[in-house]
């Protein structure tokens, strides 16, 4: 496990690889959460998480779904791969260190979950909301990187 100083150095020197989850319910609504931490603090964003060194994509997907949604044993093959995206946060990082940007390479996956799934994992988000794609496109508090999933694919 990296110390905060080591992780900040990694953020300064390299892109981070992550998985974003475009989770939708039976009504076509998409799950978004209000972010607690930088980057993108205070904006609404789809759940997701970084891939750890030496972690397989399948293991990272399952861990991210469990960590972010509380759903155990998710299988990446049951989700639809939406695409690869880049997220650049100029001068924004988890430590609020000046002059260090954060760069993510994001693997986005769409998956269906029940709208009544109890969402109790608030490590990265203050709260969750279910929004229709047209609704989230219009909201100013939904981050542009989340909106891009719907601009590119129309409906995941």
Q: What is the pTM of this model?
A: 0.90
- Cα–Cα distance for residue pair 27/97, rounded to 1 Å: 41
**Residue 11: predicted pLDDT:** 93
- Cα–Cα distance for residue pair 133/137, rounded to 1 Å: 6
Domain ranges, ordered by start, for the chain? 4-149
153 vs 110, higher pLDDT: 110
Residue 144's pLDDT band, with cuts at 50, 70 and 90, is very high
Determine the longest span between alpha carbons in the chain, in angstroms.
Answer: 44
154 labelled ligand-binding:
no
Under CATH, what is the fold of the domain 4-149?
Answer: Nucleoside Triphosphate Pyrophosphohydrolase (3.90.79)
Tens-place pLDDT, residues 42-71: 899 999 999 999 999 999 999 999 988 888
**Residue 135: predicted pLDDT:** 95
Tens-place pLDDT, residues 80-130: 999 999 999 998 888 889 999 999 999 999 999 876 666 665 567 678 889
124 labelled ligand-binding:
yes
């Amino acid at each position: 496990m990296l110390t905060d100083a080591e992780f900040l150095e990694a953020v300064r020197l390299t892109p981070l690889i992550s998985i974003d989850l475009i989770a939708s319910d039976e009504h076509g609504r998409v799950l978004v959460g209000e972010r607690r931490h930088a980057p993108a603090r205070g904006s609404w964003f789809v759940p997701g998480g970084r891939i750890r060194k030496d972690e397989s994509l399948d293991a990272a997907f399952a861990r991210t779904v469990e960590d972010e949604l509380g759903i155990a044993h998710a299988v990446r093959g049951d989700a639809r791969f939406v695409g690869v995206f880049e997220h650049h946060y100029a001068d924004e990082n988890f430590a609020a260190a000046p002059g260090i940007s954060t760069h993510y390479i994001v693997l986005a996956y769409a998956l269906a979950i029940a709208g009544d799934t109890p969402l109790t994992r608030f490590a990265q988000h203050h709260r969750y909301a279910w929004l229709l794609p047209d609704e989230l496109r219009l909201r100013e508090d939904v981050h542009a990187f989340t909106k891009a999933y719907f601009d590119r694919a129309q409906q995941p």
